[in-house]
Structures are given as structure tokens and as C-alpha cells.
Amino acid sequence: MKRTFVSVAGATAASAPSLSSICSSSNVKSALPCITGINYGDVTAAGVYNASVEAGDDYPATSGRNYCNVTVNYSHGGKSDSVNVCYYLPEPSQYEGRFLATGGGGFAINSGASGLDGGLVYGAAAGCTDGGMGWGRELEEVMLTVNGSINYDMPNNLGYLSVHEMTEIGKGLSKNFYNSSKLYAYYQGCSEGGCDGWSQPHHDWPQIFETADLNGYAPNSCALAKIVNETIAACDALDGKTDGVVARSDLCHLHYNATAAIGKAYSCAASTSINLITGAVSGSSPAANGTVTAHDVAVFLAVQNGPYDSNNRHLYVGFQPGTDAAPNAAGTYNTAPGSYDVAAISGIGAEWIQYLLNKVEDESLSLKGVGVDALRWTRSPSPWDMSTTTILASPRKNFKICTAAATDRVSPPSTRMFLSSGISCVPRAVITLIPL
């Protein structure tokens, strides 16, 4: 099929066509790439002028931006599904030959306009997808058809397919829309896509306190914070620079043992926990005063070292020294007895287990009495399993992956392990892990 579209080939900033002359549904539809298995539906395009972008966590503020706001609906051959993607296409004079694919956080597959705004700041066409869930909906809302039956298209879309398709469509659209063959592509997201593919199967395992043979003992967050602070104080300068960062985690493992914190005094004011994804209050703790106990340290080390089963087999890697252990190990304060209980987990980790393994619509999960021996795959591997390394089997030779060095969600050792196994697939690849 012959396809025509208005291009901006060879245009300079002074001679570039106006946004209004190229930002039309017909022009955008003509510029969409042909991809096997994807059938395009409705396309909309609307010019936005003199837009301002407020500073975000990942980009500075800017103003005076003009762009074409594009939405595309498509389906897959042989299916009655419906997937929507959205793109911000900067006017030609502000375009820098970049494409930014964006993701979301938790079970949200996109970050909405806040993710796309980053593209405007850096002169990039930017895209996001609804993953077939519908705008404003998250995976847990569509994961089950009924209790006991998973709608597998939805986790497949979140796990790997929809962001991939949005990127392929967006890159092809950008090249055709701007008539430019050279394009630098980037991905930016929170736990969805950037991390969830690696972390969800293993998420929240440190909250299995019984693995340390502590009879369900749950430390308070203040005691854990004291251990973390002692670790940082002991290991901070091992890289030759005192800056509050444990940069040489390898040396920290060799030169410091958290048992040195036993008997150290701690004191914390009352606090309230906020879910970083939803913004909802997720719990509160009273003021805490005391000294670090051997049980506190045992739980901390279980998080840092990773889980071992009853046969002393290491199931998975732990977190880096200096990582906040409270999100994965602190107990929940019970006002009735005035003590801390093993937390019933909620959110991504609980929903993954309940929805996809237990196949029940429940957002919380009690781990009382659960040990590491129960922590095993109970379903066959699938495209959600990112322990495979085919993701790196690319003819491109260089990769840069930015990750947090002390994250309490996806441990850097797991990322390093994944990347190291990937090198065997791409012998000449240079893979750079950049701690943030």
C-alpha cells in the first residue's frame, strides 16, 4: 500500500513547517509504521501551543513548547482487544532526534502526562500506552476475569508487550513524521517496566521473618534505621570519600558486620508511612526508644544477605549494605498489645501472589508462619520471567542502565547478575551499570 505523509526533511529552524500544517489525524495516520499483527483504528491529533512544563523528579521546568498531541488506537490480528497509545510530537524546530518511551509505577503501565512532559524538555517525541487496560486503569483492575481465572493478556501486556509495541510504533512514527532515519531511543519509568519485570516474582520476600528462626519476631523501623546508620557510618569512607554513600559495598561486606550494632541506643519520634505510588497512608508507628537487639540484627541480615532455605541453599540475592531495611522488614504496630507484629504485605508483592499465583482478588497477604521453603515458583516460567537474557541478545554493542544503588525494591546484585548473564549472549557488548 502506498503511504503518503507530510515530512520535514531538510528543514532548518527558520524554514521548518508550522505545527498546524503537519499536526493532523490524516498526516499522523499516514506516518504510522506497518507492523505485522497490529491493526490501526482511530487516530487523533491536536496541536498544543506555548505549553509550560513544571519541574519533575527527572527533568527541569521549561516553557514555550509546541507539540502535536497524538492518540492511536490499535488491535491485534485475530483478537477483539483494544490498545491505546499517546504521543507528544514536538514541533520540528524543537525536535532533537530523540524518542522517549515511558512507563509507570507498580501496576500502572504509564505515568500519564508527567512522563510525556520529560520528552518536551529534552526535544524528544515521547510515548505512553494504556496496555489495553484503558486510560486510568491499573493491572489489578483487569487481571482476573473472575476468581480462579486470569486474563493473561493483561499481565502479558504489562510485563513486556505493550511498552514494546508503543516504542516500536513511536520510533517508526517519529522517523516518518520528521523524515529522519537517525533516532536515539530512551526508556524512563518507575517500578513498572524499568524494574517490575525483574522484581515482582521476588518482591517482598524479606518480610518472611520466620526464615531467621525468630518465631515471627518483627523489629520496629527505628531499630532497623539505627542498624542502617551504623552500617553507613562504618562503610562510608571505604571508597576514600565521606559523603554518606556506601559506594564500596564489597569492602563493607568484608570489613563490617551488623552485629556490631547490638546494644546501640535508638530513639525515633512517632511517624506515618505514605505509599509512594498511591499517596495513601499505609501505616503509623508510635515513638520508639530502646537498644538494638540480636533479633533486630538477625532480621536485618536476612534482608541484606538474601533468603536461605532449610537446606542452606541460597534462593536469591539480598540488598546492598546501607539500604533502608524497614520497607521490607519492619513490623506493623499493634495498638492492643502494644507490640509489633509480622506485617501482612499489601500492594504489588501481595497482589502478584494473590492475583497471579493464588488467583484470588485480594490485595493483602499474611506471611505469618511462612518460611523460605514455601518461596518457590508455583507456576511454569512465562514471558513475565525476566531471568532469561534474550532481552540483551541485540546487535547493538553498548547498553547503559541507570539504577539506584541503595534501592529497597530491586537489589543491585540482582541487576548485576542479570546483566552478567546477558554478556554471554552478547560477547562483544559493553554493558554499563550506573549507580545513582
Put simply, whether the predicted model's pTM sits higher than 0.75 gets the answer: no
**CA-CA distance, 26 to 28, in Å (whole number)?**
6
DSSP 363: S
Query: Nearest to residue 84, comparing CAs of 114, 105, 110, 107?
Result: 110
Distance CA 211, CA 204 (A): 13
Residue (of 309, 356, 294) closest to 159 by Cα position:
356
Element (H, E) at 164: helix 162-178
Lowest mean pLDDT among 3-17, 245-259, 320-334, 367-381: 3-17
Instruction: Tell me: pLDDT of 96 over 90.
Output: yes
Distance CA 127, CA 193 (A): 14
More confident residue, 420 or 354: 354
Q: Would strands 124-129 and 83-90 be described as parallel, antiparallel, or unpaired?
A: antiparallel
> CB count, 10 Å around CB of 106?
20
Question: Tell me, what's the pLDDT at 165?
Answer: 92
What is the pLDDT, as a whole number, of residue 429? Answer: 44
367 vs 80, higher pLDDT: 80
Whether 151 contacts 355, CB under 8 Å: no
Q: How confident is the model at residue 210 (pLDDT cuts 50, 70, 90)?
A: very low
Angle between helical axes of 294-305 and 221-235 (0-180°, round to 10): 70
Q: Domain coordinates of the chain in residue numbers?
A: 19-189, 203-343+369-374
The helix/strand count (H/E) of the chain reads as 13, 18
Residue 376 CB partners (closer than 8 Å, separation 6+) = 315
For β-strands 281-285 and 271-274, DSSP reports them as: antiparallel
